[in-house]
Amino acid sequence: MGILVALFNVCSGVCFITVYAIIIFEKLLKNETMKLKPMHLTSKQDSYFVGFASLLGAIISYYSIAIFSRRAIFIGGHFIMGVLLCISGYYIHINQPELVLLSFCSFVVVYQATQGSCMYIYVAEIVVNEVAMGLALLCMMLSMTV
């Protein structure tokens, strides 16, 4: 069960945001069809916003783990993240860099508040020995490299 929780954590799509955010923003900024208003932020500044959103979500996770049940955090977090990924894809499709930044930051806050920081608590609560916990975390780290 711990391995499944760790793999669900990786399958949430956070690697897509953290690894490819700069590339996505660069392509959106270079897009010639966006003539209405230029975005005043660079792709590097956008990545700063995503990093700050991650920090904010990690701070929120301290309170979310104390208030909500583990099941609500796990299932609700994945549902909200799925909706935010669909919204992000739509905004990328219609070339709205400001809305893409907003949806990426929202996704990262929800990820950190539900899955990112809380995943280690899930695994520690459901695994009975250290070897199984280490194996679950190893599987998570190995699947992130793929």
Domain ranges of the chain: 2-24+42-145
Do you know the residue count of the chain? 146
- Sequence-distant (≥ 6) Cβ neighbours of residue 78 within 8 angstroms: 8, 12, 114, 115
**Domain 2-24+42-145 adopts which CATH fold?**
Growth Hormone; Chain: A; (1.20.1250)
What predicted TM-score, i.e. pTM, was given to this entire model? 0.74
pLDDT tens digits for range 79-108: 898 899 899 889 888 888 888 888 988 998
Q: Quote the pLDDT of residue 15.
A: 67
Quote the tokens at residue 53: 């959103």
For 17, half-sphere exposure in the C-beta direction (CA atoms, 13 angstrom radius) is 33
Kindly report each contact of residues 33-37 with a partner whose C-beta sits within 8 Å and lies 24 or more positions away, as own/partner: 33/95, 34/95, 34/97
Q: Token pair 């949806």 is at which residue?
A: 103
